[in-house]
Copies of this chain bind each other. A is one copy, B any other.
Amino acid sequence: MVSMRSANERLANRRNVVDEALEAFVQERMTGSEAPAMSLARDVLLAGGKRYRPVLALLAFEAAGGGDPNEVMDLALSAELIHTATLVHDDIYDQSKTRRGKPTLHASHGIAHGIIAGDYLFVLGFELGGRYEARIVERMARTCAGIATGELLQFEHIDDLATTPEDYYAIIDGKTAGAFATACSCAAIVANAPDSTVEALDGFGMEVGRAFQLVDDMLDLTGEASMGKPRGTDVHEGKMTLPIIHALTMLHGVEREQLADVLRNFSDDRWEELTYLLEEAGSFDYALQLIENHLDRALAEIDSLPPSAARDLMSEVARLSQSRRT
């Protein structure tokens, strides 16, 4: 068990390594023929994301017995580039005006430039990922197709009060957790790890990704408005997150009808009502318990790996993702 302070420092160190590699990559593309596209994409790429995916790729590579971290860096950057591509495109069709407190790309440059910048980021992600063996490209492609499918499923269930927990998991496994799983499992493949290790790290990433998305969904319901994106965005958009799905199942009679009414006719002055109903139903506790369960499963997945500083840091990332506030 590493001490909290030293773990935080080591994680910050890994994030710095990722940030430096990303900045060098951006700089390289700013000097050639791609400068017009990169100068458009640069800001959102360097806007200070949390870099969970690339940091986990680096750690998974180490934990799986990998040697020179340069071998896995293209994969790590690829995960971040593709993630950023999806953010840029999501923001267009979610009509989000701000991200991390700044105007979204399409808000400042228009929809055309947002679509093109996102496409360009996808291309870069596939370029770097495409340098690896066929198994990795295959996993990346399945994951990205899963993001598209997850987003489509989410649209299908907008305002659908009959959405089940299974629907919810199909959505988040596609749009979020799959990318965490693939970053970790592909890093293990790069490290020439045995299949059992690849699958353990895939499982770890999937469970951390699920916890991550559940935390995101909780923050949307309980977070501060100062977080960079407004609280309650999901509720306004009619997205069925797990606490809401749970409350719709648990409440009966008048309260169930009241919740349905709050969701169908939501406005900011109904926050207290919504919060009260979710608390009545025990939905916050339920979601917190599920987050706990996913993190326990994540840790169990990597329990079989040989002890290493990287494995300990992966546990820290999992724990930190639980307590994050943005």
Q: Is the CB of B137 within 8 A of A127?
A: yes
Provide the A75-100 mask, 1 if CB < 8 A to any CB of B, else 0.
Answer: 00000000001100100110000000
A131 at the interface (CB under 8 A from B): yes
Given contacts A89-B119, A120-B145, 14 further A-B contacts (CB under 8 A): A34-B146, A34-B149, A36-B156, A37-B149, A40-B152, A93-B111, A93-B112, A116-B148, A122-B123, A122-B126, A124-B145, A126-B126, A127-B140, A130-B134
Contacts of A33 in B (CB 8 A): 145-146, 149
A144 at the interface (CB under 8 A from B): yes
| Residues of A in contact with B, size category | 35 or more
Given A111-B93, A126-B126, A134-B131 in contact, is the A116-B146 Cβ separation under 8 Å? no
Q: Shortest CB–CB separation between residue A93 and chain B, in angstroms?
A: 3
Q: Which residue of B lies closest to A115 (CB)?
A: B89
Q: Is the CB of B130 within 8 A of A141?
A: yes
Q: Shortest CB–CB separation between residue A114 and chain B, in angstroms?
A: 9
Q: Is the CB of A152 within 8 A of B92?
A: no
Q: Shortest CB–CB separation between residue A303 and chain B, in angstroms?
A: 29
Q: Is the CB of B124 within 8 A of A122?
A: no
Contacts of A112 in B (CB 8 A): 93, 151, 155
Q: Shortest CB–CB separation between residue A11 and chain B, in angstroms?
A: 30
> A191 CA to B50 CA in the complex, in Å?
44
A–B Cβ pairs within 8 angstroms, 17 of them = A34-B148, A36-B152, A36-B153, A92-B111, A93-B111, A113-B152, A116-B151, A117-B148, A119-B147, A119-B148, A120-B145, A122-B123, A123-B141, A123-B145, A124-B145, A126-B130, A126-B137
A20 at the interface (CB under 8 A from B): no
Q: Is the CB of B148 within 8 A of A138?
A: no
Q: Shortest CB–CB separation between residue A283 and chain B, in angstroms?
A: 28
> A149 CA to B151 CA in the complex, in Å?
27
Q: Is the CB of B115 within 8 A of A115?
A: yes
Among A130, A140, A149, the most chain B Cβ lie within 10 Å of the Cβ of: A130
Q: Is the CB of A37 within 8 A of B148?
A: yes
> A120 CA to B130 CA in the complex, in Å?
16
Contacts of A140 in B (CB 8 A): 127, 130
Among A130, A144, A145, A148, the most chain B Cβ lie within 10 Å of the Cβ of: A148
Q: Which residue of B lies closest to A122 (CB)?
A: B122
| The 8 nearest A-B residue pairs measured at CB | A127-B141, A93-B112, A130-B137, A126-B126, A120-B148, A123-B144, A130-B130, A37-B148
